[in-house]
Structure 1
Amino acid sequence: MQYCYPLDNSSCNRNLRPKFEYIIMYLFFLSVSVCTVILNLLVIISISHFKQLHTPTNLLILSMAVADMIVGLFVMPLEGIRLIETCWYFGDVFCVSFPVVLFVVVSASLGNIVFISVDRYIAVSDPLHYTFKVTLHKATFCISITWLCSSVYSVCMLHNHIFYAETRSTCHGECRLVISFIWVVIDVFVSLLAPCLIVIVLYLRIYCVAKYQVKVINSVTVSTKLGGNGHTLKKSERKAAKTLGITVVIYLLCWMPYYILTLSLEKITSLSLLETFLRWFMYLNSCMNPIIYALNYPWFKISAKLILNLKIFEKSSSYLNLFTDEM
């Protein structure tokens, strides 16, 4: 045990660890952070560079990847160093901005998931009018609204933390976040119950529609008007809905334990050991999404290879065909 700032009488205590423990923890958190940034950066570059991927659905996925990359680039390193050193060495400005950025990207990710669910529902239930109902401009508008509302909501929720310095620390070298139980209840409803209810209802509808379409497809022959192209379209849309459904399930599994904890306590502090563990469990979700895309989207595997081989710097590379026959 020593002080975070040895020459400061108001300094917090700093817990000392064995040297090998420092090395292991730094390597672990660095690896997770770097993997999260690189994997999401591959998604961002893929969708931004290749023209074939400029669709409303992929634009929403791009927005999610940006939020996940911010978690790996900003949230994970600061949180990891604080956890290892047990002191806050980044000053008051970062102490204020850190939880704000965290809550904004988390809320934005959830908003994107809701809009993705709506997008998939329209694509599966009304494919003939999908291109008219869902456009790039509408998707861009939805993304803008999501990030704006997330920012406003986060500032309101963290009002005391932002504007009242005495709530952030009791000694020099501490940065704690204390959320009142009232805001915990509000956040559970806004960030978990309401969005999850919308997503679950939509995916139940998607499942029913997809199941009905399978029956219709199986009841017709190749010579009907539906033809091979119609079958391919339906298969592609169902596969996309299934992939994004997996994304939603993983998201809920990562986030629900944290919200269950918040309801079991009168207030949540960022210094709680259990709360710290569950927060890091949530952060790992930002690293899982690109892995889900890699396992289910052939275009992501192809685009990732092209990016890593620096093929994107070749002339007209943005017009390359990323889709295979099995899609």
Structure 2
Amino acid sequence: MIFTDYQHNMTVQYCFPDNNSSCKKEVRTETGNIILLVFLSCICVCNVFLNLLVIISISQFKQLHTPTNLLILSLAVADLIVGLVVMPVNIMQLRDSCWYLGKITCTVVLVFSFVSVSASVCNMVFIAIDRYIAISDPLLYSTKITVCKMSLLIILGWSCSLLYVLIYFYFNNHLLQSQIMSRCHGECILIIKSSLATVDLVISFLCPSSVILVLYSIIFILARRQAKAVRSVLNATSNKHRAKVSKSSNLKAAKTLGIVVGVYLSFWIPVSLCYLSVENITSMSLVWTVLAWLLFINSSFNPLIYAIFYPWFRASAKYIVTCRLCNFSSSTFNLFPEHI
């Protein structure tokens, strides 16, 4: 975040004029900042809209009550928290350097920010594991993975994410400590120690990325083997058209996996590199702002990757947008017609 000196152009303003320990107020009204705020606000609105579509779709339609879709629902909830809570607060701080919501709210927002990102990564790992089991052992998948088991796994994932963040804040000496808003009244800052930043990098990026890359690599190999087996059977029956369709489906699945991994890495690699190059990161710095918004934007891409590419989402979105959910039998609508 770039700070501009207004002291030579206007009278110094304070966040809380009646408080002697108030921080200086800095309102950024330049054209470039306004354009940036409008752009980030549009991303925030898109985040909320897309993730709400995913949540309503999976919650409303009974056909979508599957273990895999529960993971997508959990991922959408984590990303929705980013769009509803984290993004607006960060946009507010970009517009006005003052923090008016108090120390407790500052701590809560910081916890929400870290938990939502951590839970989002956790859900992406669970989705990779789920897809690996589905393609490696499809006959026994329905018995191994049930809605009940998946629900418990999701609850465990969110609980572990919250516990990890609380421990991380505790060791960083910032959770409910005087170092938040310590310099002046009207400031919400978090300083991340370089040693803990490295630990967080390993836990939040290197380990999940390794699991995702390994599992998706195995999925891709298994998908190719299964496609070859299907093509050999279809060729034996001289059904060339169906073989071509099978090959096309396999390539589409491979592209989807490539997009999943590519988008995830494209947002997290810059974050990891900056973690390693910066000694101490403060939440009021330009580095923090860029890193944070990279992760926030990633949460807006997740519904596009995991839901919009699926035909059932396009079908359910039509029902929602056209307000057909008012129908008492809307939960039983068929989202998988033969033409989709």
Q: What TM-score, normalized by structure 2, do the two folds share?
A: 0.87
- The alpha-carbon distance between structure 1 residues 135 and 237, as it changes in their structure 2 partners (threshold 3 A), is farther
CA distance in 2, matches of 1:213, 1:265: 46
Unaligned runs of 5+ in 1: none
Secondary structure in structure 1 of the residue aligned to 2:234: coil
1:58 alignment partner AA: N
Given that 1:210 and 1:238 are in contact with CA atoms closer than 8 Å, whether structure 2 keeps it comes out as no
Q: How does 1:212-223 map to 2 (within 5 A)?
A: 212-221=225-234
Matched pairs, number: 324
Aligned match of 1:202 in 191, 210, 215?
215
After TM superposition, give the deviation of residue 244 of structure 1 in Å.
5.3
1:103 and 2:106 are equivalent in the alignment: no
Aligned to 2:124: 113
CA distance in 2, matches of 1:258, 1:314: 46
Aligned to 1:37: 48
- The alpha-carbon distance between structure 1 residues 323 and 213, as it changes in their structure 2 partners (threshold 3 A), is same
1:181 and 2:164 are equivalent in the alignment: no
Aligned to 1:137: 148
- The alpha-carbon distance between structure 1 residues 53 and 261, as it changes in their structure 2 partners (threshold 3 A), is same
- The alpha-carbon distance between structure 1 residues 234 and 127, as it changes in their structure 2 partners (threshold 3 A), is farther
Aligned to 2:74: 63
> Identity percentage over the alignment?
48
CA distance in 2, matches of 1:326, 1:279: 42
Given that 2:62 and 2:331 are in contact with CA atoms closer than 8 Å, whether structure 1 keeps it comes out as yes
Unaligned runs of 5+ in 2: 1-5, 7-12
Q: How does 1:230-269 map to 2 (within 5 A)?
A: 243=256, 246-269=259-282
After TM superposition, give the deviation of residue 109 of structure 1 in Å.
0.8
Given that 2:117 and 2:295 are in contact with CA atoms closer than 8 Å, whether structure 1 keeps it comes out as no
Which deviates more from structure 2 when the two are superposed, residues 172-181 or residues 233-242? 233-242
CA distance in 1, matches of 2:83, 2:73: 15
What is the CA RMSD across the aligned residues, in angstroms?
A: 2.6
Given that 1:56 and 1:136 are in contact with CA atoms closer than 8 Å, whether structure 2 keeps it comes out as yes
Runs of 4+ in 1 over 4 A off after TM superposition: 19-23, 231-242
Which deviates more from structure 2 when the two are superposed, residues 285-294 or residues 46-55? 285-294
Aligned to 1:277: 290
2:26 alignment partner AA: N
- The alpha-carbon distance between structure 1 residues 306 and 318, as it changes in their structure 2 partners (threshold 3 A), is same
- The alpha-carbon distance between structure 1 residues 237 and 113, as it changes in their structure 2 partners (threshold 3 A), is farther
Q: 1:211-233 CA distances to partner (integer Å, 9 max, x unpaired)?
A: 11111111012887xxx99x999
After TM superposition, give the deviation of residue 264 of structure 1 in Å.
1.1
- The alpha-carbon distance between structure 1 residues 313 and 243, as it changes in their structure 2 partners (threshold 3 A), is farther
